[in-house]
Structure 1
Amino acid sequence: MSEQAEALVATWIEAERTAVPRLSGLQLQALLITYRSPGINLTGMAEQVGAAPPTVSRLCDRLEAAGLLVRHRATTSRREIGLTLTAHGYEMLAALTERRFLAVRRVLQHVPAAQREALLAGLRAFSEATEPVTGGGPDL
């Protein structure tokens, strides 16, 4: 199973390599977290990515400079900073999702239909099983 999972992950990651702008894994993870939790604060982001708040602040500096993310004062506290994707950030994630879809589709065209259906059923079950562990299945 390890080889099969690696093949799927490699296909998925290959689509990321063509992303413009080119993002690190941590940057992409931060964008996806912001997509799923608009307005998340720096502390929440730090907890989700497993990094210290100063590291996340610098990460957000780079994403903001790239025009993918904006910081704003949270409505609940004037001292709290919320994070939201820009239109460019949404567009970049949508383009990445499309590239991932096409990359996986190219591979699946070589898989017999019955096996594609079985794979899809298995991936759905896997995704559902991750929800209690991660707090929600992947949206993108």
Structure 2
Amino acid sequence: MGHHLQHCGTASRPLREEAALVGRPVRLPGCYLNGFCPDLAALKEGAEKDDQGQYAYDDIEFVLEVISKPTAVNDYGPKKAVYAEAGTGVYLIVDPYTRRCRLFTNPVDGEYKDEVTVTFGKPLDLTDTVVGLTLTTDDFEDD
């Protein structure tokens, strides 16, 4: 778990000013229990919590997940599908086991139409997304 937190911190450092939500449950379509708790998410300006203290899925603009062995199947499978179904415009997976970042954008009819993969050490261009920056991955480490 320590490596997972280290990767979350490294990956999210340049994004924190843009992000309004870190490690909070979000109600998403098809998630009837507690909802998913992304490692980092950015919300639309003006987003507000509901009566249960959670944000609505349509307030999410960006999600970042850092892979850990116990959660990898969820991050690449159910979470990716639910984020696409919810219309989350940018879904970024940082995977220290494959030493890659996978960026999913353009959700249409419950699936992401566009995907970009970069290996650690190469920049990831997010300037054409709501994130609006280039993420350097030089400091990302494998697990």
On whether the aligned pair clears a TM of 0.5, the verdict is no
Greater relative contact order structure (CA < 8 Å, 6+ sep): 1
TM-score between both structures, scaled by the size of structure 2 = 0.27
Whichever of the two has the greater Rg, that structure is: 1
Pick the structure with more helix per residue.
1
TM-score between both structures, scaled by the size of structure 1 = 0.28
Pick the structure with more strand per residue.
2
